[in-house]
Structure 1
Amino acid sequence: MVRTIDYQVYTEMETDPQAMEEPATWKTKGVPAKPHFPVRPLYVVLAAAALFGIVIVCLFLSKSSEMAAETRLLRAEQAKVQENYNSSAIKSMEAEIEQTQSKASDMSTQMRKLQREVSRVSLQVRLLQMGGGDKSFNLHEWETKVRNETANSNWSDLSGHQYYFSSNRLSWTSARDTCTSMSSYLAVVTTEQEQDFIISKMRERSWVGLSDLEEESVWKWTTGEPVEQSFWESGEPNNEFDEDCGEIKENGKLNDIPCNLRRRFVCEKDNAGAQ
């Protein structure tokens, strides 16, 4: 027995338009269909978010740069203020130290005077105890002789001139007057030899005969001679604190400072005057 296949059935199935247009559901039976979302609006949202993020980053970087610049400016201003404050504080401390040294020097001078007075009184007492001692002895003349010999021993010679180096500290005008009372004047430094000699003898920075008291910024020696610029310290004279009088520093350079400060001083005179 020969079986025959009904080709008409398959032909109709293959040529059915509805069957061709609609997918067969028998293959996916029981499997839920995937939901379909619109893709283009999602891309727009992502692009807008990225753009917004870029704008935020740019603004942040811009503000960070501005803040960094302001921070550097503030630090520079702070450093400048700190430097000025330190300079003023140092100047103030130096002035206080000089005042303290001046007071200590004054006290030391007063103590020496007191000691001399005690010695004088003690000597008088001993003379009285001895019954008057030598009638021809004059205490005042003896003290004057000792004082003159001591003063003369403090003078040092150089090239026909003599120099006196004080142990007490005075203002510039008082130092000038003291030199005048000893028939001398505040030292005038006009040669390197004189400069080297003075700094080898003095113990600390000292007054010399230099000022611009007669005319501001016109510096002269008390003898009327002009001042060689090479003798000035670098950057001096600067008249920073109303500085009208001159000192010689330990390195031999000249410096202008206020006249009311107390310094040791150097007097000068020629040998004829010393004799």
Structure 2
Amino acid sequence: MESGTFYVCRNINNRSRPPTQSRSNDEGKDRKQRGRRCLVLMTMCLGLICVLLLVFITLYITITAERDLLKSYKNTVEEFNHTIISLQDKNTDLLIDKDQLKNNLNSLSQKKLELETRVMSLSEELKKEKLETELRKLYERGNSSFSISSELKSWFESRQFCRDRGADLIIINTEEKQRHLTSFIKERVWIGLSDIENEGIMKWVDNSTLNQGFWYEEEPNNAGGDEDCVELIPSGSIQNWNDLPCSEKRKRVCEK
């Protein structure tokens, strides 16, 4: 009986325990769960804020870098444009200088050509003067003297020119005279020899017959049938006579 009584009492005691303590425990658990939720939420918010802050910092750095790079590019482009403008100005100046130099070169070329022409003319005059002087020195024999003309005339005109001045075309009747004349003659000249009167019979202007001739090889050949007058052609040999038409224009050597 005693044990059954004890059992009943325990049950009675259990039933009669107030629910306040159980409720307190539940509320505590709820508070803990809510606290955990708030902590998780705060952690997530803080993480999100950190991520957003990191993204903002990254974007700021990127934008700043791109802005600096763009500014650098802009400065480079401006410098490049300034360089191009400067080079264009220099190119324009160089083109102007080139045109001026070209004009100066053309002017100098023209002056050079004029000077060369003048020098050639003076050289020819000096050669003629020297030739005439040397001829006079070498060929003066008593009252005789020689001169070389600068004009081109036919054989007849040349002879008349000499005769108008008290002279006649030169007579070469010695090898010495031929050598001296050949050493100074630089152009083709008429001499006083022809076969005008009788074909094949060469005579000097004093009507003397040719004894010794200084002909080129195969000359005289009377080519064309009208080569009746004789010229002296400059060469390295004293064999330098040639017959040709009397109408040809040559310089002449007059002899007094």
Fold shared per TM-score above 0.5: no
| Structure (1/2) with the larger helix percentage | 2
Structure with bigger gyration radius = 2
